[in-house]
Structure 1
Amino acid sequence: MNAPIGVIDSGVGGLTVVKEMLHYLPNEEIYYIGDTARCPYGPRTPQEVVKFTWQMADKLVEMGIKMLVIACNTATCVALESLQKHSKIPVIGVINAGAQAAIKATETHDIAVIATAGTVKSAAYENAIASLYSSSNITSLACPPLVPLVESGEYMGDFAFDLVKTSLQPLKKARFDTLILGCTHYPIIKDLIQKAVGEQVHIVSSATETAKQTLEILKFQGIERTAKESPHHKFFATGSLPIFKEIATNWLPLEQVDAARVTLK
């Protein structure tokens, strides 16, 4: 089935999932929407996030996607269930994938999670990890400044590291050998986070596991792309394009990023 796979996020964070999908699913075509005009989703009400997530999903369904990946932890927490229930195409999120990655990586089962306020409040990672290993010790921390840092494109240099270090300061008192990047924006600043928590900590994100899960579903459903020509990926943002396109160009292994503005309603 030669239709594209849809990927949605509150902004540029979902590009970290797209990067892994390009690696694991090189023949698949990807259509991406980043809701940069209304990012971040973390502080918003669940009702707002559900509304925005459905708007992005509907727009991509209009474009003819065959599967949807919610590459946003906050949106996965509140909107995945309703989308899976009412959509005619397969829909997956990133929470369970992140939990699985952490369980694979940890040796002590002392796990920390950094995420948006919305994701932390939902306890989604605690529940997902507990379903896999009930004796895990989990410490969660909301890091509100980190998504705006990534979205601004100003995540290089001393200021960015100081902000990351300050945001993660409460974890100094916690015991953990594995840290889940519970927001898809965070892998873009993974090096800064690693520096702040120390090299001895395993840092995991949901991106790789989500890409692998996408591939499994495509195979199981028999809807893999069979076209021989190279896929043409399309990227859309609801806000200003220059920063979005710059981050996408720097982050993704593509010669050219086809990006355009999109209006949601």
Structure 2
Amino acid sequence: MTRKLIKNYFHLLNTDYVKLGVKWNFNNVISPYYRIYYIDEGEGVISSLAGNLVLKPGYLYLIPSFTLCDLSCSHFLSQYFVQFFEESPDGLSLFAHCRKIMHLAATSVDIANVRRLLAINPGRGINRSDDPKVYEKDIYYKEYTELNNLQSISAQYETQGIILQLISRFLKPEICRPDKLAVIPSVILETISYIQLNISSVLKVSHLAARAHLNTDYFSRIFHRYTGKSPVTYILEKRIERAQYLIITTTHQYGDIAQLTGFENSQYFSRIFKRLTGLTPGAYRTQNKTMNLID
């Protein structure tokens, strides 16, 4: 029997129970971390390219990282929420093939888990505002990273275990295709890891193919077969994901971010960034730096 090891690790950012109203109304939200909501009262809406999804009591919702959406509440909504980062040694997200919003009916175990997560992680709410444009800032990320480091070892293990349980509820074969991920050839996995580790460097397809000891055309075909993207498209998307994270969590100038993410110049970086996110780097930063605190 093949032994499968859990490779993905999750870092808690926020967890809390909040009561929201009409001010919970934000457009073009796209974050480098995951969100899980459990709704216990009221109603809200998450809008994305796939359409509108109504937030209803008794349901669990998952928004994978880098999933563009709008959040709104026309009257009243109360929710438990969990926000966390994902890490994997090969750079493959559990939801690499499923960057869409998912939902399912919550079980008694799910409800107990979200409540327990809050109980063992007190003071992990956002506290300043429920607007992503306010709380997605470098100083706030650092605060919660430090809080993770201050957890007892038992709380760290239990927190990780609960997040894994909640994530596992959405890992359906027809959604996330783990069977396909499991059979990715080692040369492709190693290439993906190499891209992640060298995202700021020049990454030519011919060089990647040579590292894999494959003909360039053949390498490109099998890379597309197992990732669903050409090597060039995959590299660009990973560069922009990294740029989004840097724009949100640092004060680096756009030229520096372009260099850190492997773009040859700021103009090309800005053009690709807008093509993939729908916003210019400046508009994206403005969206995440506006200090309009909610009363």
TM-score (ref. length: structure 1): 0.32
Q: Which has the larger radius of gyration?
A: 2
Higher strand proportion, which one? 2
**RCO (CA 8 Å, sep 6+): is it higher in 1 or 2?**
1
Normalising by structure 2, we get a TM-score of 0.29
